[in-house]
Amino acid sequence: MSIQAIKPGWWQKPLDGQEKIWLSIAFVWCLAITIIMPWWHVVGDHNMSGEYHKITGGDFSMLTDQFIEKYQVGMDEGIPVVVPPANSDIFLRGAQWEWDPVLKLKAGSTYRLHLSSIDVNHGVSIQPVNMNFQAVPGYDSILTITPTTKGEYRIICNEFCGAGHHAMIGKLIVE
């Protein structure tokens, strides 16, 4: 019986010069983005800080319905249109597969926007300005917003949420 020498595998060979360079670049980049993410929050307003509270889908739905009842002015393709006063609490409900209500806001006014979903996770992507948030079931995410540019915006769900995901497009109007 003889003992055969085991051939060294690729993982036992020392790193090649090129490999060392790329690993170093990747490592430095990892460090850089780790610093940049919190830095953006302070310097660039990229990552907004909000308030978060636990809430059931039923309770959030009830608050949204009350909000709609109070400030509804019409309908837009089957979705209620709401004109809330400045400095008020406003609600945006995500559900498979629509956003409601349509919010009509005043440029320069500040609102407390409550975001949630009553079923699964939805992504809130406001286009074309490309602001992105999350509607998370079980949580009321509150953002203090002051829209500055007049126009009609689309709220696109950018978190895959099922068969009708591609059609989950809401509307936000600033005038």
55 binds Cu ion (CB under 5 A): no
Q: Which is nearer to Cu ion, 105 or 115 (CB)?
A: 115
CB nearer Cu ion, residue 1 or residue 167: 167
CA distances from 74 to 15, 29, 82, 127, 131 (A): 67, 51, 7, 23, 26
The nearest distance, CB 95 to Cu ion, in angstroms, is: 10
Per-residue mark of binding to Cu ion, 126-165 (x: CB under 5 A): -------------------------------x---x---x
Cβ–Cβ under 8 Å, residues 47 and 37 = yes
C-alpha 161/C-alpha 60 separation (Å) is 19
The pairing of beta strand 169-174 with beta strand 102-105: parallel
User: Minimum distance between the CB of residue 134 and Cu ion, rounded to whole angstroms?
Assistant: 11
Nearer to Cu ion, 103 or 157 (CB): 157
CA distance 87 to 76: 24
Nearer to Cu ion, 96 or 109 (CB): 96
